[in-house]
Amino acid sequence: MTPVLEIRDLEILVEGEEGTRQAVRGLSLAIARGETFALVGESGSGKSVTALSLLRLLPPSLDIARGAALLAGTDLHRLPEGRLRELRGGRVGTIFQEPATSLNPVMRIGEQIEETLRVHTALRGAAARARVVEWLRRVGIPEPERRIDDYPFQFSGGQKQRIMLALALAAEPDLLIADEPTTALDVTVQAQILTLLADIQRELGMAILLITHDLAVVRQVADHVALMRHGEIVESAPAAEFFEAPRHPYARELFAAIPTFAKRGQTLAGIPRALPQRQPGARLLEVRELAVHYPLRRGAWGRTRDWVRAVDGVSFDLHAGETLALLGESGCGKTTTGKALLRLLDGPRISGSAQLGGEDLLTADRRTLQRLRRQIQIVFQDPFASLDPRMRIGATLEQGLLALRPELDAAERQRRAAALVERVGLPG
């Protein structure tokens, strides 16, 4: 039987300042109807590049040197652009790794999903809108009849990932390419999404190419596993065989690095030394009764009819040397709490207090807030959307130093930027 997808001897080259190198080399795989094929590996191993190449969505610096990608026998690499556009979103659905950058920020989410239905199905008008509501409900968006008319920024990161899932499945594709589809989801919603995918897969006979580094997800859903490293597949086997008896040393190293109760108190593989024990010190941050309420407007005059309580009465203390984990399902207010402390929200009504070193973040004037931001920073949920694609990484790092540490000269900023890159494990 012809596979839904077959990749033969794929080689992808990347152009850089130091010349051309292979991003993917000699990659071959086949996915049958109704099968979930997991492509796993560390960041930078070539998983996402492989997926982007299937529908010719590679950035200009990457090029397909050779190989074929056959969808039910048709080579996707040889199709004209017009024919390929008919397949994208229709016979091939894609869930991209960065949902925030995959959704159009100036279109309501219902319009974006309905657009897919108009292009790839016969549904129109009320029937198309009803199908969109149905998909939003199936992927776990609350009150889909109301939220269908909201914009992407009105949803949490995990909810945007669910919307992307609805967008990818709306036209009931033959093949779903899922690039880290559950990364932004809490464990309860992750389980729901995986169950939903399995149900739809059985219903449609859909093939799934699952790209992930999460071995727990792979073990739960995959039929076949291929492990990538440095641009090539180093091991490929049925899922049960891969987890019971991994052959490649790298696969065994990955399993040794997975924390389990049996390894409690032991040093995991890949960690060169035990982390130092830290003793909590003085109280740095004191949050009391923090509330973030968004106005819910209705009618021709846009009057406020009600308030959405995104955060309601949150209080906690954070001490020097301490790590405080704020846990909860997607949309419960975790990210909103962090953004409120840094005054990065525009539109909601914010109340309560947040004292950093005795100074209130929520009432600080502009100059005071700039000074306080030297001492409180945030790592955003979506790194792709946080980095300016037109700036080099060194310049991006220096920009923060220039804004918050203007007394540093250019040479010192460059030195610190280079040191930071090395410290997070990237080659300078």
The per-residue pLDDT for range 27-40, each reduced to its tens digit, is 999 999 999 999 99
Return the beta strands (E) in 254-410 as ranges: 283-298, 303-319, 349-356, 359-360
Contact by Cβ (8 Å): 226, 26: no
Band (pLDDT 50/70/90 cuts) for residue 187 is: confident
Rounded to two decimals, what is the model's pTM? 0.72
Query: What pLDDT was estimated at residue 216?
Result: 85
Residue 208 CA to residue 223 CA, distance in Å, equals 10
Confidence check: pLDDT of 180 > 80: yes
Confidence check: pLDDT of 131 > 70: yes
Query: What pLDDT was estimated at residue 337?
Result: 95
Q: Residues 165-178: what's their mean pLDDT? A: 93
Lowest mean pLDDT among 158-162, 180-184, 197-201: 180-184
Query: How many H-runs (helices) and E-runs (strands) does the chain carry?
Result: 16, 14
The per-residue pLDDT for range 248-266, each reduced to its tens digit, is 998 888 888 776 666 666 6
The per-residue pLDDT for range 212-255, each reduced to its tens digit, is 888 888 988 999 999 999 999 999 999 999 999 999 998 888 88
The per-residue pLDDT for range 83-122, each reduced to its tens digit, is 999 899 999 999 887 777 789 999 999 999 999 999 999 9
Query: What pLDDT was estimated at residue 117?
Result: 95
Band (pLDDT 50/70/90 cuts) for residue 182 is: confident
Query: What pLDDT was estimated at residue 389?
Result: 84
Q: Residues 127-142: what's their mean pLDDT? A: 93
Residue, of 72 and 19, whose pLDDT is higher? 72
Contact by Cβ (8 Å): 254, 268: no
| Calculated CA dihedral for residues 128, 130, 131, 136, nearest 10 degrees | 130
Percentage of residues of the chain with pLDDT beyond 70: 93
Residue, of 278 and 293, whose pLDDT is higher? 293
Q: Residues 360-386: what's their mean pLDDT? A: 87
Q: Which residues of 220-240 are buried (b: 16+ CB within 10 A; e: fewer)?
A: ebbbbbbbbbebbbbbbbebe
Residue 232 CA to residue 226 CA, distance in Å, equals 10
Band (pLDDT 50/70/90 cuts) for residue 318 is: very high
Confidence check: pLDDT of 273 > 70: no
Query: What pLDDT was estimated at residue 260?
Result: 66
Query: What pLDDT was estimated at residue 263?
Result: 66
Confidence check: pLDDT of 270 > 60: no
Q: Residues 419-427: what's their mean pLDDT? A: 85
Pairing of strands 207-212, 175-179: parallel
Band (pLDDT 50/70/90 cuts) for residue 298 is: low
Residue 282 CA to residue 384 CA, distance in Å, equals 35
Confidence check: pLDDT of 279 > 80: no
Confidence check: pLDDT of 132 > 60: yes
Contact by Cβ (8 Å): 23, 50: no
CB atoms within 10 A of CB 209: 26
Lowest mean pLDDT among 54-58, 170-174, 180-184: 180-184
Contact by Cβ (8 Å): 271, 280: no
Band (pLDDT 50/70/90 cuts) for residue 203 is: confident
